[in-house]
Amino acid sequence: MKRILITGVESTGKTTLATELAQYYNVPLVREMSREYLENINTNYSQDDILAIAKLQIKEINKYEYNQSPYLIVDTAMLVLKIWSIYKYGSCDPFIINKLEGLKWDLILLPYFDVPFEEDPLRENPYNRSELFKLYHKNLESSNENFYVLKGSKKNRVIEAINLIDNLSF
């Protein structure tokens, strides 16, 4: 199974892209656990909550370890949690760092922030997307993972992503 991760700055179309790709290929989608978690706690979150979200995200990814689908599409994972934890709290739990280093991806898609920011009660950073994007890009460059920046319209991003996925060798 080829594992494809969509990661990056908030409000760049990650969930939309992940959902469309999973539907296009008719494969499993590991949804972003932070949204579900934060909607259920009904309070301000803490760094401990980021760790709890990381554990839920890993549990969801591991559900598909032995799935026979050709692809697994994952909407965010440890990199988002690492960057957000460091950005907001100045540090990151070792569990997240270890899981980030242990998870390997066949393709990582990093949507650019060239789409309008959509307001959402769970989104916090409409004004520093450029700064955060640079952190994602730097982390991915240093990881030696196969990643690609997607730019342009939603339609263009989906077409580019499908082309990249179709060119993955088995």
Domain extent listing, the chain: 2-166
Nearest of 14, 1, 3 to residue 104 by alpha carbon:
3
Tell me, which fold does domain 2-166 have in CATH? Rossmann fold (3.40.50)
The amino acid that residue 111 corresponds to is: P
CA distance 108 to 106: 7
> For 62-97, how does the pLDDT look when each residue is reduced to its tens digit (9 = 90+)?
999 899 999 999 999 999 999 999 999 999 999 999
Q: Are 7 and 109 in contact (CB under 8 A)?
A: yes
Question: pLDDT-based confidence at 40, cuts 50/70/90?
Answer: confident
DSSP 103: -
Q: Provide the pLDDT for residue 127.
A: 74
CA distance 77 to 107: 13
Q: Provide the pLDDT for residue 120.
A: 64
Q: 3-class secondary structure for 46-62? A: CHHHHHHHHHHHHHHHH
Please name the residues in contact with 30: beta carbons below 8 A apart, sequence gap of 6 or more: 57, 60, 61, 63, 64, 72, 73, 74, 75, 77
Residue 47 CA, chain-centre distance (Å), reads 18
Answer yes or no: pTM beyond 0.85.
Answer: yes
Tokens at residue 154, please?
């939603």
Question: pLDDT-based confidence at 126, cuts 50/70/90?
Answer: low
| R_g of the chain computed on alpha carbons | 15
* Poorest-pLDDT segment among 2-16, 47-61, 125-139: 125-139
For residues 2-12, average pLDDT: 95
Mean model confidence pLDDT for the chain: 92
